[in-house]
Structure 1
Protein backbone atom coordinates (compact mmCIF):
# COMPACT_ATOMS: atom_id res chain seq x y z
CA UNK A 1 0.00 0.00 0.00
CA UNK A 2 1.40 3.40 -0.99
CA UNK A 3 0.23 6.72 0.40
CA UNK A 4 1.01 10.06 -1.21
CA UNK A 5 0.66 13.08 1.04
CA UNK A 6 1.60 16.74 0.74
CA UNK A 7 1.18 19.04 3.69
CA UNK A 8 1.79 22.72 3.22
CA UNK A 9 3.34 24.67 6.04
CA UNK A 10 3.92 28.28 5.06
CA UNK A 11 6.26 30.68 6.79
CA UNK A 12 6.53 34.16 5.28
CA UNK A 13 9.32 36.44 6.38
CA UNK A 14 9.98 39.57 4.33
CA UNK A 15 13.30 41.30 5.07
CA UNK A 16 14.65 44.43 3.30
CA UNK A 17 17.45 43.88 0.80
CA UNK A 18 19.94 45.98 2.79
CA UNK A 19 19.83 43.32 5.54
CA UNK A 20 21.76 40.78 3.46
CA UNK A 21 25.36 41.84 3.05
CA UNK A 22 26.39 39.16 5.52
CA UNK A 23 27.28 35.54 4.64
CA UNK A 24 26.70 32.56 6.89
CA UNK A 25 27.68 28.93 7.06
CA UNK A 26 24.80 26.58 7.70
CA UNK A 27 25.38 24.07 10.48
CA UNK A 28 24.19 20.45 10.26
CA UNK A 29 20.47 20.14 11.01
CA UNK A 30 19.87 18.86 14.52
CA UNK A 31 16.58 16.99 14.93
CA UNK A 32 15.27 17.69 18.42
CA UNK A 33 12.74 15.82 20.53
CA UNK A 34 10.61 18.24 22.53
CA UNK A 35 7.87 15.82 23.54
CA UNK A 36 6.42 12.46 22.61
CA UNK A 37 4.37 12.68 19.44
CA UNK A 38 1.89 9.98 20.57
CA UNK A 39 1.86 6.64 22.38
CA UNK A 40 1.56 3.68 19.95
CA UNK A 41 -0.73 0.87 21.07
CA UNK A 42 0.04 -1.60 18.29
CA UNK A 43 3.76 -1.29 17.54
CA UNK A 44 7.17 -0.02 18.52
CA UNK A 45 9.90 1.17 16.17
CA UNK A 46 12.73 -1.39 16.21
CA UNK A 47 15.10 0.51 13.95
CA UNK A 48 15.71 2.42 10.72
CA UNK A 49 17.15 0.97 7.51
CA UNK A 50 19.02 3.08 4.96
CA UNK A 51 17.73 2.07 1.52
CA UNK A 52 18.48 5.34 -0.28
CA UNK A 53 20.03 5.15 -3.74
CA UNK A 54 21.56 8.58 -3.09
CA UNK A 55 23.30 8.64 0.28
CA UNK A 56 24.69 12.15 -0.02
CA UNK A 57 23.77 14.76 2.62
CA UNK A 58 20.03 15.31 2.67
CA UNK A 59 19.66 19.11 2.45
CA UNK A 60 20.39 21.48 -0.44
CA UNK A 61 19.93 24.93 1.08
CA UNK A 62 20.12 28.58 0.04
CA UNK A 63 23.04 30.08 1.94
CA UNK A 64 22.58 33.75 1.05
CA UNK A 65 21.27 35.98 -1.69
CA UNK A 66 24.57 36.24 -3.52
CA UNK A 67 24.84 32.44 -3.80
CA UNK A 68 21.79 32.41 -6.07
CA UNK A 69 21.29 28.91 -7.47
CA UNK A 70 24.47 27.64 -5.79
CA UNK A 71 23.07 25.62 -2.91
CA UNK A 72 24.95 24.55 0.19
CA UNK A 73 24.90 20.82 0.93
CA UNK A 74 24.07 20.11 4.57
CA UNK A 75 23.43 16.83 6.38
CA UNK A 76 21.59 15.99 9.55
CA UNK A 77 23.73 16.15 12.64
CA UNK A 78 25.34 12.75 13.20
CA UNK A 79 24.28 11.51 9.76
CA UNK A 80 20.84 11.13 8.21
CA UNK A 81 19.89 7.62 9.34
CA UNK A 82 21.26 7.83 12.91
CA UNK A 83 19.59 11.22 13.31
CA UNK A 84 16.19 9.96 12.17
CA UNK A 85 16.50 6.81 14.28
CA UNK A 86 17.46 8.77 17.40
CA UNK A 87 14.59 11.16 16.81
CA UNK A 88 12.00 8.40 16.36
CA UNK A 89 13.27 6.53 19.42
CA UNK A 90 12.85 9.69 21.46
CA UNK A 91 9.54 10.79 19.95
CA UNK A 92 7.73 7.45 20.43
CA UNK A 93 7.65 5.15 23.47
CA UNK A 94 9.19 1.73 22.75
CA UNK A 95 7.04 -0.96 24.36
CA UNK A 96 8.77 -4.14 23.21
CA UNK A 97 5.67 -6.21 23.97
CA UNK A 98 4.11 -4.61 20.88
CA UNK A 99 4.83 -5.47 17.24
CA UNK A 100 8.40 -4.62 16.17
CA UNK A 101 8.39 -2.34 13.11
CA UNK A 102 11.32 -1.04 11.09
CA UNK A 103 11.32 2.07 8.92
CA UNK A 104 13.02 1.67 5.55
CA UNK A 105 14.11 5.07 4.23
CA UNK A 106 14.12 5.14 0.44
CA UNK A 107 14.44 8.90 0.08
CA UNK A 108 14.94 11.87 2.39
CA UNK A 109 15.63 15.27 0.85
CA UNK A 110 15.28 18.98 1.58
CA UNK A 111 15.63 21.15 -1.54
CA UNK A 112 15.42 24.93 -1.59
CA UNK A 113 15.54 27.73 -4.12
CA UNK A 114 15.84 31.49 -3.90
CA UNK A 115 12.35 32.61 -4.89
CA UNK A 116 12.84 36.39 -4.58
CA UNK A 117 16.26 38.00 -4.29
CA UNK A 118 14.76 41.44 -3.45
CA UNK A 119 12.94 40.20 -0.36
CA UNK A 120 15.26 37.30 0.43
CA UNK A 121 12.39 34.82 0.15
CA UNK A 122 13.42 31.14 0.05
CA UNK A 123 11.05 28.33 -0.91
CA UNK A 124 11.75 24.77 0.18
CA UNK A 125 10.37 21.24 -0.09
CA UNK A 126 10.86 18.28 2.21
CA UNK A 127 10.58 14.89 0.43
CA UNK A 128 10.03 11.65 2.32
CA UNK A 129 9.75 8.09 1.01
CA UNK A 130 9.38 5.74 3.98
CA UNK A 131 8.38 2.07 4.08
CA UNK A 132 7.09 0.50 7.30
CA UNK A 133 7.91 -3.19 7.72
CA UNK A 134 6.97 -5.71 10.38
CA UNK A 135 9.81 -7.79 11.81
CA UNK A 136 8.93 -11.49 12.12
CA UNK A 137 11.91 -13.59 13.10
CA UNK A 138 14.50 -13.17 10.37
CA UNK A 139 12.01 -11.71 7.91
CA UNK A 140 10.67 -8.22 7.27
CA UNK A 141 7.03 -8.11 6.13
CA UNK A 142 6.06 -5.03 4.13
CA UNK A 143 3.11 -3.17 5.62
CA UNK A 144 2.80 0.37 4.27
CA UNK A 145 4.58 2.98 2.13
CA UNK A 146 4.44 6.68 2.88
CA UNK A 147 5.51 9.23 0.28
CA UNK A 148 4.97 12.87 1.12
CA UNK A 149 6.50 15.98 2.60
CA UNK A 150 6.02 19.61 3.53
CA UNK A 151 6.37 22.85 1.56
CA UNK A 152 7.68 25.92 3.35
CA UNK A 153 8.90 29.49 2.86
CA UNK A 154 11.47 31.33 4.94
CA UNK A 155 13.65 34.39 5.03
CA UNK A 156 17.14 33.76 3.75
CA UNK A 157 18.61 34.17 7.24
CA UNK A 158 16.00 32.11 9.04
CA UNK A 159 17.54 28.66 8.72
CA UNK A 160 16.00 27.72 12.08
CA UNK A 161 12.72 27.18 10.18
CA UNK A 162 14.10 24.06 8.48
CA UNK A 163 14.38 21.71 11.45
CA UNK A 164 10.75 21.99 12.67
CA UNK A 165 9.51 21.57 9.09
CA UNK A 166 11.51 18.34 8.73
CA UNK A 167 10.32 17.20 12.14
CA UNK A 168 6.73 17.84 11.08
CA UNK A 169 7.20 15.72 7.96
CA UNK A 170 8.55 12.78 9.95
CA UNK A 171 5.74 13.13 12.48
CA UNK A 172 3.18 13.07 9.65
CA UNK A 173 4.53 9.73 8.45
CA UNK A 174 4.51 8.25 11.96
CA UNK A 175 0.96 9.42 12.65
CA UNK A 176 -0.32 8.11 9.35
CA UNK A 177 1.21 4.70 9.97
CA UNK A 178 -0.20 4.67 13.49
CA UNK A 179 -3.71 5.46 12.21
CA UNK A 180 -3.41 2.72 9.59
CA UNK A 181 -2.18 -0.01 11.92
CA UNK A 182 -4.79 0.76 14.55
CA UNK A 183 -7.50 0.41 11.92
CA UNK A 184 -6.06 -2.75 10.34
CA UNK A 185 -4.72 -4.55 13.43
CA UNK A 186 -7.61 -7.04 13.47
CA UNK A 187 -8.33 -7.01 9.73
CA UNK A 188 -5.02 -7.28 7.85
CA UNK A 189 -3.69 -10.84 7.65
CA UNK A 190 -0.09 -9.63 7.94
CA UNK A 191 -0.86 -8.18 11.37
CA UNK A 192 -2.49 -11.31 12.75
CA UNK A 193 -0.70 -12.81 15.73
CA UNK A 194 -1.75 -16.47 15.44
CA UNK A 195 -2.77 -19.08 12.87
CA UNK A 196 -5.41 -21.76 13.42
CA UNK A 197 -5.45 -24.56 10.85
CA UNK A 198 -8.49 -26.67 10.01
CA UNK A 199 -7.76 -29.81 7.97
CA UNK A 200 -10.29 -31.99 6.20
CA UNK A 201 -10.53 -34.51 3.37
CA UNK A 202 -12.55 -34.01 0.21
CA UNK A 203 -14.63 -37.12 -0.50
CA UNK A 204 -17.65 -35.90 -2.42
CA UNK A 205 -18.57 -38.01 -5.43
CA UNK A 206 -20.10 -35.96 -8.23
CA UNK A 207 -20.22 -38.90 -10.66
CA UNK A 208 -17.93 -37.04 -13.04
CA UNK A 209 -14.40 -37.74 -14.28
CA UNK A 210 -12.82 -37.49 -10.82
CA UNK A 211 -12.98 -40.14 -8.11
CA UNK A 212 -11.92 -38.88 -4.68
CA UNK A 213 -10.41 -41.39 -2.30
CA UNK A 214 -12.92 -42.94 0.07
CA UNK A 215 -12.17 -46.19 1.95
CA UNK A 216 -15.87 -47.04 1.63
CA UNK A 217 -15.72 -46.67 -2.12
CA UNK A 218 -13.05 -48.95 -3.67
CA UNK A 219 -12.26 -48.72 -7.35
CA UNK A 220 -13.92 -50.81 -10.03
CA UNK A 221 -12.94 -51.40 -13.62
CA UNK A 222 -15.77 -49.05 -14.62
CA UNK A 223 -13.61 -46.20 -13.30
CA UNK A 224 -11.01 -46.87 -16.02
CA UNK A 225 -12.58 -45.14 -19.00
CA UNK A 226 -9.50 -43.84 -20.81
CA UNK A 227 -8.28 -45.09 -24.17
CA UNK A 228 -5.73 -47.91 -23.71
CA UNK A 229 -2.18 -47.16 -24.75
CA UNK A 230 0.31 -49.33 -26.56
CA UNK A 231 2.68 -51.29 -24.36
CA UNK A 232 3.00 -54.42 -22.25
CA UNK A 233 0.77 -53.25 -19.42
CA UNK A 234 -2.81 -54.42 -18.99
CA UNK A 235 -3.97 -51.34 -17.12
CA UNK A 236 -2.85 -47.96 -15.81
CA UNK A 237 -4.22 -45.52 -13.24
CA UNK A 238 -3.77 -41.77 -12.91
CA UNK A 239 -3.73 -41.16 -9.16
CA UNK A 240 -2.56 -37.93 -7.55
CA UNK A 241 -2.89 -35.50 -4.63
CA UNK A 242 -3.86 -31.84 -4.35
CA UNK A 243 -5.08 -29.32 -1.80
CA UNK A 244 -7.09 -26.12 -1.61
CA UNK A 245 -6.71 -23.45 1.04
CA UNK A 246 -9.03 -20.71 2.15
CA UNK A 247 -8.27 -18.21 4.90
CA UNK A 248 -9.94 -15.40 6.78
CA UNK A 249 -9.44 -13.25 9.89
CA UNK A 250 -11.37 -13.69 13.12
CA UNK A 251 -10.50 -11.27 15.93
CA UNK A 252 -6.89 -10.92 14.78
CA UNK A 253 -6.37 -14.67 14.23
CA UNK A 254 -5.88 -16.24 10.80
CA UNK A 255 -8.22 -19.18 10.24
CA UNK A 256 -6.89 -21.46 7.51
CA UNK A 257 -9.21 -24.09 6.08
CA UNK A 258 -7.23 -26.68 4.08
CA UNK A 259 -9.01 -29.31 2.02
CA UNK A 260 -6.79 -32.23 0.99
CA UNK A 261 -7.70 -34.20 -2.11
CA UNK A 262 -6.55 -37.69 -3.06
CA UNK A 263 -8.06 -38.54 -6.43
CA UNK A 264 -7.92 -40.50 -9.67
CA UNK A 265 -9.00 -39.40 -13.13
CA UNK A 266 -11.17 -41.86 -15.01
CA UNK A 267 -10.38 -40.51 -18.48
CA UNK A 268 -6.64 -40.78 -17.83
CA UNK A 269 -6.90 -44.32 -16.42
CA UNK A 270 -7.40 -47.30 -18.69
CA UNK A 271 -7.62 -51.09 -18.94
CA UNK A 272 -7.23 -53.41 -21.91
CA UNK A 273 -10.24 -55.63 -22.40
CA UNK A 274 -11.45 -57.34 -19.27
CA UNK A 275 -9.05 -57.78 -16.38
CA UNK A 276 -9.28 -59.71 -13.13
CA UNK A 277 -9.47 -58.81 -9.45
CA UNK A 278 -5.71 -59.32 -9.02
CA UNK A 279 -5.02 -56.61 -11.60
CA UNK A 280 -7.64 -54.31 -10.06
CA UNK A 281 -5.98 -54.75 -6.66
CA UNK A 282 -2.64 -53.67 -8.14
CA UNK A 283 -4.22 -50.46 -9.45
CA UNK A 284 -6.12 -49.88 -6.20
CA UNK A 285 -2.78 -50.02 -4.36
CA UNK A 286 -1.49 -47.16 -6.52
CA UNK A 287 -4.48 -45.19 -5.27
CA UNK A 288 -3.73 -46.29 -1.69
CA UNK A 289 -0.13 -45.13 -1.99
CA UNK A 290 -1.33 -41.65 -2.94
CA UNK A 291 -3.54 -41.70 0.16
CA UNK A 292 -0.64 -42.77 2.41
CA UNK A 293 1.49 -39.90 1.18
CA UNK A 294 -1.41 -37.50 1.71
CA UNK A 295 -1.85 -38.70 5.30
CA UNK A 296 1.84 -38.15 5.94
CA UNK A 297 1.49 -34.63 4.54
CA UNK A 298 -1.47 -33.91 6.80
CA UNK A 299 0.54 -34.99 9.84
CA UNK A 300 3.39 -32.66 8.88
CA UNK A 301 1.05 -29.69 8.33
CA UNK A 302 -0.64 -30.25 11.69
CA UNK A 303 2.76 -30.01 13.41
CA UNK A 304 4.02 -26.94 11.55
CA UNK A 305 4.70 -23.72 13.42
CA UNK A 306 2.79 -21.49 11.03
CA UNK A 307 2.96 -17.70 11.02
CA UNK A 308 0.37 -15.37 9.45
CA UNK A 309 2.81 -14.12 6.82
CA UNK A 310 4.20 -17.47 5.66
CA UNK A 311 1.66 -20.24 6.34
CA UNK A 312 0.77 -20.64 2.65
CA UNK A 313 4.42 -20.81 1.60
CA UNK A 314 5.20 -23.48 4.19
CA UNK A 315 2.18 -25.61 3.31
CA UNK A 316 3.02 -25.32 -0.40
CA UNK A 317 6.63 -26.37 0.25
CA UNK A 318 5.58 -29.52 2.11
CA UNK A 319 2.95 -30.31 -0.53
CA UNK A 320 5.55 -30.23 -3.30
CA UNK A 321 7.82 -32.42 -1.19
CA UNK A 322 4.94 -34.89 -0.72
CA UNK A 323 4.22 -34.88 -4.44
CA UNK A 324 7.80 -35.92 -5.14
CA UNK A 325 7.58 -38.58 -2.44
CA UNK A 326 4.41 -39.98 -4.02
CA UNK A 327 6.01 -40.27 -7.46
CA UNK A 328 9.09 -42.00 -6.04
CA UNK A 329 6.96 -44.43 -4.02
CA UNK A 330 4.77 -45.25 -7.03
CA UNK A 331 7.86 -45.98 -9.13
CA UNK A 332 9.34 -48.14 -6.39
CA UNK A 333 6.07 -50.06 -6.08
CA UNK A 334 5.90 -50.81 -9.81
CA UNK A 335 9.60 -51.65 -9.98
CA UNK A 336 9.54 -54.13 -7.08
CA UNK A 337 6.26 -55.78 -8.10
CA UNK A 338 7.19 -55.76 -11.81
CA UNK A 339 3.90 -53.92 -12.40
CA UNK A 340 2.05 -56.61 -10.48
CA UNK A 341 3.60 -59.59 -12.19
CA UNK A 342 5.69 -60.53 -9.12
CA UNK A 343 3.03 -62.01 -6.82
CA UNK A 344 5.28 -62.34 -3.75
CA UNK A 345 6.41 -58.73 -3.97
CA UNK A 346 2.80 -57.69 -4.54
CA UNK A 347 1.77 -59.50 -1.36
CA UNK A 348 4.52 -57.72 0.62
CA UNK A 349 3.35 -54.35 -0.68
CA UNK A 350 -0.29 -55.23 0.05
CA UNK A 351 0.63 -55.94 3.67
CA UNK A 352 2.74 -52.78 3.98
CA UNK A 353 0.03 -50.59 2.47
CA UNK A 354 -2.71 -52.04 4.69
CA UNK A 355 -0.58 -51.45 7.79
CA UNK A 356 0.15 -47.88 6.77
CA UNK A 357 -3.50 -47.11 6.10
CA UNK A 358 -4.53 -48.76 9.36
CA UNK A 359 -1.98 -46.65 11.23
CA UNK A 360 -3.62 -43.51 9.86
CA UNK A 361 -7.09 -44.83 10.72
CA UNK A 362 -8.06 -45.09 7.07
CA UNK A 363 -8.84 -48.86 7.16
Structure 2
Protein backbone atom coordinates (compact mmCIF):
# COMPACT_ATOMS: atom_id res chain seq x y z
CA UNK A 1 0.00 0.00 0.00
CA UNK A 2 1.39 3.36 -0.95
CA UNK A 3 2.30 5.92 1.67
CA UNK A 4 -0.59 8.34 1.75
CA UNK A 5 1.51 11.14 3.24
CA UNK A 6 2.38 12.18 -0.29
CA UNK A 7 -1.24 12.79 -1.07
CA UNK A 8 -2.19 14.53 2.15
CA UNK A 9 -0.54 15.39 5.41
CA UNK A 10 -2.94 13.34 7.49
CA UNK A 11 -1.60 9.87 6.76
CA UNK A 12 1.70 8.32 7.79
CA UNK A 13 3.07 4.83 8.20
CA UNK A 14 3.68 4.04 11.89
CA UNK A 15 0.49 3.25 13.82
CA UNK A 16 0.43 3.93 17.54
CA UNK A 17 -3.19 4.43 18.61
CA UNK A 18 -5.67 2.27 16.74
CA UNK A 19 -9.37 2.34 16.22
CA UNK A 20 -10.66 -1.20 16.24
CA UNK A 21 -13.57 -2.33 14.14
CA UNK A 22 -15.88 -2.53 17.14
CA UNK A 23 -15.40 1.12 18.10
CA UNK A 24 -18.60 3.08 17.82
CA UNK A 25 -16.94 6.51 17.82
CA UNK A 26 -13.64 7.93 16.63
CA UNK A 27 -10.89 8.74 19.12
CA UNK A 28 -11.24 12.26 20.53
CA UNK A 29 -8.01 14.21 20.08
CA UNK A 30 -6.20 15.83 22.97
CA UNK A 31 -3.19 18.13 22.50
CA UNK A 32 -1.36 16.52 25.43
CA UNK A 33 -1.97 12.92 24.40
CA UNK A 34 -1.88 12.76 20.61
CA UNK A 35 0.60 15.48 19.60
CA UNK A 36 4.02 14.38 20.88
CA UNK A 37 6.05 14.98 17.71
CA UNK A 38 8.47 17.82 17.07
CA UNK A 39 6.75 20.61 15.10
CA UNK A 40 7.93 21.26 11.56
CA UNK A 41 9.11 24.86 11.78
CA UNK A 42 9.22 25.06 7.99
CA UNK A 43 5.52 24.23 7.73
CA UNK A 44 3.09 27.13 7.43
CA UNK A 45 0.54 25.06 9.38
CA UNK A 46 0.01 25.03 13.13
CA UNK A 47 -0.74 21.32 13.52
CA UNK A 48 -0.45 17.96 11.83
CA UNK A 49 -2.37 14.85 12.75
CA UNK A 50 -0.44 11.91 11.32
CA UNK A 51 -2.62 8.89 10.58
CA UNK A 52 -2.63 5.74 8.54
CA UNK A 53 -5.07 3.09 7.38
CA UNK A 54 -4.03 -0.55 7.27
CA UNK A 55 -5.94 -3.57 6.16
CA UNK A 56 -5.12 -7.22 5.78
CA UNK A 57 -7.20 -10.31 5.24
CA UNK A 58 -7.23 -14.03 5.27
CA UNK A 59 -9.12 -15.87 2.58
CA UNK A 60 -10.78 -19.21 2.10
CA UNK A 61 -12.29 -20.68 -1.03
CA UNK A 62 -15.44 -22.70 -0.57
CA UNK A 63 -17.44 -24.05 -3.51
CA UNK A 64 -15.84 -21.65 -5.98
CA UNK A 65 -16.53 -18.69 -3.68
CA UNK A 66 -13.96 -16.57 -1.86
CA UNK A 67 -14.63 -15.52 1.71
CA UNK A 68 -12.34 -13.05 3.42
CA UNK A 69 -11.70 -12.31 7.07
CA UNK A 70 -10.77 -8.64 7.14
CA UNK A 71 -8.51 -6.87 9.62
CA UNK A 72 -9.06 -3.14 9.21
CA UNK A 73 -7.66 -0.32 11.36
CA UNK A 74 -6.67 3.31 11.36
CA UNK A 75 -4.06 4.79 13.64
CA UNK A 76 -2.84 8.10 14.99
CA UNK A 77 0.94 8.36 15.16
CA UNK A 78 1.59 10.41 18.28
CA UNK A 79 5.30 10.75 17.58
CA UNK A 80 4.69 12.29 14.17
CA UNK A 81 1.66 14.39 15.08
CA UNK A 82 2.58 17.86 16.23
CA UNK A 83 1.19 21.25 17.15
CA UNK A 84 2.67 24.73 17.47
CA UNK A 85 0.61 25.85 20.45
CA UNK A 86 2.97 28.78 21.00
CA UNK A 87 1.73 30.20 17.68
CA UNK A 88 -1.93 29.86 18.66
CA UNK A 89 -2.48 32.67 21.12
CA UNK A 90 -6.03 32.28 22.42
CA UNK A 91 -7.80 29.33 23.98
CA UNK A 92 -10.63 29.76 21.47
CA UNK A 93 -8.13 29.51 18.58
CA UNK A 94 -6.59 26.41 20.15
CA UNK A 95 -10.02 24.80 20.44
CA UNK A 96 -10.87 25.73 16.85
CA UNK A 97 -7.60 24.19 15.65
CA UNK A 98 -8.18 21.02 17.67
CA UNK A 99 -11.72 20.87 16.26
CA UNK A 100 -10.31 21.07 12.73
CA UNK A 101 -7.78 18.32 13.43
CA UNK A 102 -10.59 16.22 14.90
CA UNK A 103 -12.31 16.53 11.52
CA UNK A 104 -9.36 14.71 9.94
CA UNK A 105 -9.71 11.91 12.50
CA UNK A 106 -13.44 11.73 11.87
CA UNK A 107 -12.87 11.44 8.12
CA UNK A 108 -10.45 8.57 8.78
CA UNK A 109 -13.09 6.95 10.97
CA UNK A 110 -15.53 7.10 8.05
CA UNK A 111 -12.82 5.52 5.88
CA UNK A 112 -12.55 2.68 8.43
CA UNK A 113 -16.28 2.07 8.43
CA UNK A 114 -16.63 2.28 4.65
CA UNK A 115 -13.61 0.09 3.98
CA UNK A 116 -15.04 -2.51 6.33
CA UNK A 117 -18.41 -2.42 4.60
CA UNK A 118 -17.12 -2.35 1.03
CA UNK A 119 -14.32 -4.90 1.32
CA UNK A 120 -16.35 -7.44 3.27
CA UNK A 121 -19.52 -7.26 1.19
CA UNK A 122 -18.24 -8.14 -2.26
CA UNK A 123 -18.25 -11.28 -4.29
CA UNK A 124 -14.70 -11.91 -5.38
CA UNK A 125 -13.46 -14.05 -8.24
CA UNK A 126 -11.44 -17.08 -7.16
CA UNK A 127 -8.95 -16.39 -9.94
CA UNK A 128 -8.14 -12.76 -9.15
CA UNK A 129 -9.61 -11.84 -5.77
CA UNK A 130 -6.29 -10.44 -4.53
CA UNK A 131 -6.19 -7.93 -7.39
CA UNK A 132 -9.87 -7.09 -6.87
CA UNK A 133 -9.37 -6.43 -3.15
CA UNK A 134 -6.27 -4.35 -3.84
CA UNK A 135 -8.10 -2.31 -6.48
CA UNK A 136 -11.06 -1.68 -4.15
CA UNK A 137 -8.73 -0.69 -1.31
CA UNK A 138 -6.91 1.75 -3.61
CA UNK A 139 -10.22 3.26 -4.73
CA UNK A 140 -11.28 3.71 -1.11
CA UNK A 141 -7.93 5.22 -0.22
CA UNK A 142 -8.02 7.61 -3.16
CA UNK A 143 -11.57 8.71 -2.35
CA UNK A 144 -10.68 9.56 1.24
CA UNK A 145 -7.36 11.10 0.21
CA UNK A 146 -9.34 13.51 -1.97
CA UNK A 147 -11.82 14.14 0.84
CA UNK A 148 -8.98 15.01 3.27
CA UNK A 149 -7.38 17.40 0.76
CA UNK A 150 -10.71 19.06 -0.02
CA UNK A 151 -11.40 19.43 3.70
CA UNK A 152 -8.14 21.30 4.25
CA UNK A 153 -8.41 23.40 1.10
CA UNK A 154 -12.03 24.42 1.52
CA UNK A 155 -11.75 25.18 5.24
CA UNK A 156 -8.39 26.87 4.69
CA UNK A 157 -7.00 24.48 7.30
CA UNK A 158 -9.79 25.43 9.70
CA UNK A 159 -9.45 29.20 9.44
CA UNK A 160 -12.58 29.66 7.30
CA UNK A 161 -15.24 29.14 9.97
CA UNK A 162 -18.18 29.16 7.55
CA UNK A 163 -16.62 26.37 5.47
CA UNK A 164 -15.54 24.55 8.63
CA UNK A 165 -19.18 24.46 9.74
CA UNK A 166 -20.20 23.17 6.30
CA UNK A 167 -17.58 20.41 6.50
CA UNK A 168 -18.59 19.57 10.07
CA UNK A 169 -22.05 18.79 8.70
CA UNK A 170 -20.67 16.78 5.77
CA UNK A 171 -18.48 14.70 8.07
CA UNK A 172 -21.25 14.21 10.62
CA UNK A 173 -23.64 13.06 7.89
CA UNK A 174 -21.05 10.64 6.49
CA UNK A 175 -20.43 9.22 9.97
CA UNK A 176 -24.15 8.66 10.47
CA UNK A 177 -24.49 7.02 7.02
CA UNK A 178 -21.59 4.70 7.76
CA UNK A 179 -22.97 3.74 11.17
CA UNK A 180 -26.41 3.07 9.68
CA UNK A 181 -24.89 0.91 6.95
CA UNK A 182 -22.86 -1.03 9.55
CA UNK A 183 -26.01 -1.68 11.59
CA UNK A 184 -27.76 -3.16 8.56
CA UNK A 185 -25.14 -5.90 8.24
Using structure 2 for the length normalisation, give the TM-score.
0.73
Cross-structure match for 1:41: none
**Higher RCO (CA 8 Å, separation ≥ 6 residues):** 2
More helix by share: 2
2-side partners of 1:308 and 1:227: how far apart? Answer: 47
Cross-structure match for 1:283: 101
CA contact under 8 A between 1:238 and 1:264: conserved in structure 2? Answer: yes
The Cα of 1:235 is off from its aligned counterpart by 0.6
Cross-structure match for 1:247: 59
More strand by share: 1
CA contact under 8 A between 1:218 and 1:284: conserved in structure 2? Answer: yes
The Cα of 1:315 is off from its aligned counterpart by 1.0
Cross-structure match for 2:83: 271
1-side partners of 2:140 and 2:66: how far apart? Answer: 24
Where structure 1 has 5 or more consecutive residues not aligned to the other structure, the ranges are 1-207
CA contact under 8 A between 2:55 and 2:70: conserved in structure 1? Answer: yes
The Cα of 1:312 is off from its aligned counterpart by 1.9
Where structure 2 has 5 or more consecutive residues not aligned to the other structure, the ranges are 1-13, 89-93, 181-185
The Cα offsets for residues 39-76 of structure 1, whole Å up to 9 and x where unpaired, read as xxxxxxxxxxxxxxxxxxxxxxxxxxxxxxxxxxxxxx
Matched, 1:217 2:27: yes
Cross-structure match for 1:261: 73
| CA RMSD, Structure 1 to Structure 2 (Å) | 2.4
Match among 30, 35, 44 for residue 232 of structure 1: 44
Change (3 A) 1:218 1:301: same
Alignment of 1:70-85 (within 5 A): none
The Cα offsets for residues 265-299 of structure 1, whole Å up to 9 and x where unpaired, read as 11121111366222111111111112223333333
The Cα offsets for residues 153-196 of structure 1, whole Å up to 9 and x where unpaired, read as xxxxxxxxxxxxxxxxxxxxxxxxxxxxxxxxxxxxxxxxxxxx
Change (3 A) 1:253 1:321: closer
The number of aligned residues is 155
2-side partners of 1:301 and 1:253: how far apart? Answer: 15
The Cα offsets for residues 9-47 of structure 1, whole Å up to 9 and x where unpaired, read as xxxxxxxxxxxxxxxxxxxxxxxxxxxxxxxxxxxxxxx
1-side partners of 2:54 and 2:71: how far apart? Answer: 9
The Cα of 1:212 is off from its aligned counterpart by 1.6
CA contact under 8 A between 1:235 and 1:271: conserved in structure 2? Answer: yes
1-side partners of 2:26 and 2:61: how far apart? Answer: 35
2-side partners of 1:263 and 1:239: how far apart? Answer: 5
Matched, 1:357 2:168: no
CA contact under 8 A between 1:294 and 1:322: conserved in structure 2? Answer: no
The Cα of 1:232 is off from its aligned counterpart by 2.4
